[in-house]
Chains A and B, each alone.
Chain A
Amino acid sequence: MSETPEVRPPVVTPGRVVIALCLVAPFVAMLWVGSYAKTDPAFIGIPFFYWYQMLWVLISTALTMLAYKLWQRDQRARRGADGGAAK
Chain B
Amino acid sequence: MKDGVNGVALGVFIFFFLAVTVMGFLAARWRRAEDEHSLDEWGLGGRSFGTWITWFLLGGDLYTAYTFVAVPAAIYAAGAAGFFAVPYTILVYPLIFTFLPRLWSVSHRHGYVTTSDFVRGRFGSKGLSLAVAVTGILATMPYIALQLVGIQAVLDVMGVGGGENTNWFVKDLPLLIAFGVLAAYTYSSGLRAPALIAFVKDALIYIVIAVAIIYIPIKLGGFDDIFAKAGEAFSQVNPATGKPRGALAPGDANQWTYATLALGSALALFMYPHSITATLSSRSREVIRRNTTILPLYSLMLGLLALLGFMAIAAGVKVTNGQLAIPQLFEDMFPDWFAGVAFAAIGIGALVPAAIMSIAAANLFTRNIYRDFIKPDATPRQEAQVSKIVSLLVKVGALVFVLTMDKTVAINFQLLGGIWILQTFPALVGGLFTRWFHRWALLAGWAAGMVYGTAAAYGIASPTQKHFGGNAKEIPGIGEIGYIGLTAFVLNVLVTVVLTVVLKALKAPEGVDETRPEDYTADAGDPGVEVELPPATAGAGH
Contacts and interface: CB of A to CB of B under 8 A. Distances in A.
Interface of A: 1, 22-24, 26-27, 30-34, 37-39, 42, 44-50, 53-54, 56-58, 60-61, 63-65, 67-68, 71
Interface string B52-76: 0000000000000000000000000
Contacts of A27: 91, 94, 263
Given A45-B223, A50-B307, A67-B97, A30 B90 contact: yes
22 contacts: A23-B94, A27-B94, A31-B262, A32-B259, A33-B250, A34-B255, A37-B251, A44-B222, A45-B223, A47-B227, A49-B80, A49-B248, A50-B83, A53-B83, A54-B86, A54-B304, A57-B86, A57-B300, A61-B296, A64-B292, A68-B289, A71-B289
Interface-centre pick from B227, B290, B304 (highest chain A CB count, 10 A): B227
A9 to B, nearest CB: 15
Given A31-B262, A64-B293, A47 B248 contact: yes
A64 to B, nearest CB: 5
B40 to A, nearest CB: 27
A87 B289 CA distance: 29
A83 to B, nearest CB: 14
A23 B223 CA distance: 33
A71 B293 CA distance: 13
Contacts of B210: none
Given A31-B263, A53-B83, A68-B293, A60 B223 contact: no
Nearest to B221: A45
Nearest to B303: A54
Nearest to B517: A2
Nearest to B260: A31
A33 B255 contact: yes
Interface residues of B, number: 41
A57 B97 contact: no
A27 B306 CA distance: 21
A60 B80 contact: no
B98 A23 contact: yes
B3 interface: no
Contacts of B406: none
Contacts of B80: 37, 49
B250 A46 contact: no
A33 B260 CA distance: 10
A57 B303 contact: yes
A67 B306 CA distance: 29
Interface-centre pick from B91, B227, B296 (highest chain A CB count, 10 A): B296
Interface in B271-303: 289-290, 292-293, 296-297, 299-300, 303
Contacts of B307: 46, 50
B518 interface: yes
Given A49-B83, A53-B303, A57-B300, A30 B223 contact: no
Nearest to A51: B303
Interface-centre pick from A24, A38, A45, A63 (highest chain B CB count, 10 A): A45
Contacts of A61: 93, 293, 296-297
Contacts of A57: 86, 89-90, 296, 299-300, 303
Contacts of A65: 293
B87 A30 contact: yes
A31 B97 contact: no
A37 B249 contact: yes
A52 to B, nearest CB: 10
Interface-centre pick from A44, A60, A67 (highest chain B CB count, 10 A): A60
Contact of A63 (B94, B249, B250): B94
B296 A68 contact: no
B314 to A, nearest CB: 11
A50 B252 CA distance: 17
Contact of A31 (B224, B259, B299): B259
Given A45-B226, A53-B303, A60 B86 contact: no
A52 B222 CA distance: 19
B440 interface: no
Contacts of A48: 249
